[in-house]
Amino acid sequence: MRLTRRTLGPFVGAVAKKLEHYSQFQPSSLTIQQYLDFGRIGTAATSYTFLKNELMVRLANIMQEFSLLPPKLLQMPSSKMVSNWYCESFEDLLKYENAGASTENINAFNEQLQSILKRHAHVVETMAEGLIELRETDGVDIASEKGNCWDLALTFWLCLKYWFLCDRYYLTSPSMKLEMHNAVDKGRPISIVAVPSHLYHIMFELLKNAMRATVEHHGVDDDLPDIKVFVVRGNADLSIKICDRGGGVSRTILERLFNYMYSTAPPPPRDGTQAPLAGYGYGLPLSRLYARYFLGDLFLVSMEGYGTDACIYMKAVPVEASEVLPIYSTSSRRNLTMGPQVADWSHHVPGQGFRPG
């Protein structure tokens, strides 16, 4: 599928042709086991040769998706900022397209990747700001645009940050009870190979939601019930269940919680003075996207008036944890631009359809 004028707009001449060229290739889907194997036996030169091409393919594909967003959204300042970040990163990588795998080039490429990583550190938050700007412009309702829209234990020490946030907002926080069961190596600590940033976002979002619901349902002056977390390592899956007594939600609301830009909290402050505890509306859908990226899943079971259970499944065997990458074609354009809003690309993962959420 050819790129549109909106995608090629920031580019001219040869760069625009390169973007269109790389957008015609499909990203390579890798398993966690392949990452591990390469880390043991791969060389810096091999990594450089693969990444300098693969990253341009992935950037070109995501920019192709970006061009399918609603035109009004693409005009928002924050959306333009994100678009410019991707354009700048693509041009940065293009400098190495024909550069050999010399030590000097490899070192420069590594430094360039670190710069790109910092540049894209706040893409999610900035894109959410763009949606908020759209909603505030002439009273635009995000729902009216949906016809064109897209739709561990080793990290539990980070819970200190969740509790700090909760104490900062509410001056109180519930306790957490953690139970861990290793059904494969009984009596031994649970370990799993995963992407730390993905796992951090998932756990942060779910624990944050559980704490907020518990405090707001019971009040800051009451004895707060514990949040219970169960971690189980099986032969095929690592399963995590987070149980709260935060009052739960109705089935009607539950069906909407995984919609992008839907939030039960008020919009966050936009003065930049503090990190929001809730309100952007991308936390849960993005968490599920991260869970499904390596063939896992995330879903909620809620009892209105009592509480909610959040269940996360992750592949425990690295060779089975294969990337699920969006592939853009004529059908993807049709899904994003015609008819009612459809599920995101992770919805089509084999074996995912039987779970609620």
For residue 201, indicate whether it is catalytic: yes
Overall pTM surpassing 0.75 (yes/no) = no
HSE, side-chain direction, 13 A CA sphere, residue 86: 27
Structure tokens that stand for 326 in this block? 């969006």
pLDDT band at 160 (very low <50, low <70, confident <90, very high): low
Distances (CA, A) of 194 to 35, 191, 229: 11, 9, 19
Question: Measuring CA to CA, which residue among 144, 146, 177 is closest to residue 159?
Answer: 177
Among 3-7, 116-120, 170-174, 329-333, the range with the most confident prediction by mean pLDDT is 116-120
CB-based contacts of 349: which residues, under 8 Å, 6+ apart? 292, 295, 297, 324
Fold of 5-145: Butyryl-CoA Dehydrogenase, subunit A; domain 3 (1.20.140)
Q: Is 348 in the active site?
A: no
Domain boundaries, the chain: 5-145, 153-348
Question: pLDDT-based confidence at 354, cuts 50/70/90?
Answer: very low
Q: Average per-residue pLDDT in the chain?
A: 79
How many alpha carbons lie under 13 Å from residue 132 in its C-beta half-sphere? 17
- The CATH H-level superfamily of 153-348 is Histidine kinase-like ATPase, C-terminal domain (3.30.565.10)
Left, alpha or beta for 175 (phi > 0: left; psi -120 to 50: alpha)? beta
C-alpha 218/C-alpha 112 separation (Å) is 49
Catalytic entry in 18, 61, 145, 209: 209
Per-residue pLDDT tens over the stretch 76-104: 899 899 999 999 999 999 999 999 999 99
Does the active-site annotation cover 209?
Answer: yes
Positive or negative, the CA dihedral 160, 161, 166, 171 is positive
Give the per-residue pLDDT at 131.
76
Catalytic residue among 120, 161, 208, 241: 208
Task: Given the residues 18, 52, 146, 201, select the one marked as catalytic.
Answer: 201
Pick the closest to residue 89 from 62, 67, 70, 69 (CA basis).
62
Provide, rounded to the nearest whole percent, the portion of the chain with pLDDT above 90: 39
Establish whether 347 is a catalytic residue: no
CA distance 266 to 258: 17
Quick one: pLDDT band at residue 265, thresholds 50, 70, 90? low
